[in-house]
Structure 1
Amino acid sequence: MSREALALIDVDGVLNPHGSAACPPGYTEHELFPGELVRVRPEHGRMLLRLADRYTLVWATYWEDEANRLLAPLLGLPRLPVIPCAGPPGSQQDKLVGIAPWVTDRAVVWFDDLHSTAAHEWAASRGAPTRLIHVDPVGGLADVHIDQALRP
């Protein structure tokens, strides 16, 4: 595996802003799971690809492989590596359980709407550069978040 820096990408709350009752401007709703609408903004693919010169893009979502199958084609993204984040069905385990051993000592930017206390402690204790980028689940990922990840 490469020693490149990683950009960890969550879906719900980041690419699928579920925090508002109405679909935000620029998004369209898709029924990717039976009876469940997912909000998609096609520009997110272009935005994330801005990171590709500096970071390896990686899914860090409870969607796991479904992100490649269902969402990547709508965003114009290639298949991305997937960090196993989901615990047993119905569990709400902290994603950090899968993320920490997967990233090892690489530099990381992590886009999520719910960074746990444990994630903040982990980030502060790492020797490698680690930036947790909070995304508001009402508006979703924006250029300001990408700019934050690209800042030195």
Structure 2
Amino acid sequence: MKALALIDVDGVLNPHGTAACPPGYTEHELFPGELVRVRREHGPLLLRLSTRYELVWATYWEHEANRLLAPLLGLPRLPVIPCAGPPGSHRDKLLGIAPWVADRPLVWFDDLHSAAAHEWAASRTAPTRLIHVDPVAGLTGAYVDQALLP
């Protein structure tokens, strides 16, 4: 069984840390009145991870990530971790993630790992790597390379 790669959307695939759309991204109205920044190169970057990891959505988008974003990135439907609680409450997001991943090794890409997430990661016996993605730039090859290091 492969290790898991938990993928957040906002701040990771949809950089929101800047007012201007970053170079290489295009804006799409995937939700009424809300623009989402998409970089098509994210699909191949994530697929590089799939040689070692099972890709899983770990986002408040939940199933909308498969419906709206995966086709734009050329990704297959991915498993979805139900992220309990309101957006912005990453402690609640962890409450959905922890039981779902059980004791599997993982790497978690997010722009907002809470203190609780760091404590949980440090306490796990399974290898666990939290990769903080800069929400201004979004996911880059350097983050993927970091996840692929032994």
Q: Secondary structure at the match of 1:105?
A: coil
Task: Give the equivalent residue in structure 1 for 2:137.
Answer: 139
Is this contact kept in 1: 2:103–2:126, CA < 8 A?
yes
**Cα RMSD for the two superposed structures:** 1.2
Identity over aligned residues, as a percent?
81
Is this contact kept in 1: 2:62–2:82, CA < 8 A?
yes
Task: Give the equivalent residue in structure 2 for 1:112.
Answer: 110
Is this contact kept in 2: 1:64–1:86, CA < 8 A?
no
Q: Distance in 1 between matches of 2:42 and 2:34?
A: 20
CA shift for structure 1 position 53: 1.1
Q: Secondary structure at the match of 2:103?
A: coil
Q: Distance in 2 between matches of 1:143 and 1:121?
A: 27
Q: Secondary structure at the match of 1:79?
A: coil
Counterpart of 1:148, as a letter, is Q
Counterpart of 2:89, as a letter, is Q
CA shift for structure 1 position 123: 0.3
Is this contact kept in 2: 1:86–1:93, CA < 8 A?
no
Q: Distance in 1 between matches of 2:116 and 2:45?
A: 28
Confirm or deny that 1:98 pairs with 2:109. Answer: no
Count residues in correspondence. Answer: 149
Alignment of 1:1-150 (within 5 A): 3-87=1-85, 92=89, 94=91, 95-150=93-148
Cα displacement string for residues 47-97 of structure 1 (whole angstroms, at most 9, x for unaligned residues): 00001111000000000000000000000000000000032x667352100
TM-score by length of 2: 0.96
CA shift for structure 1 position 134: 0.3
Counterpart of 1:128, as a letter, is A
Q: Distance in 2 between matches of 1:75 and 1:4?
A: 22
Give unmatched runs, 5+ long, in structure 1. none
TM-score by length of 1: 0.95
Segments ≥4 residues shifted beyond 6 Å = none
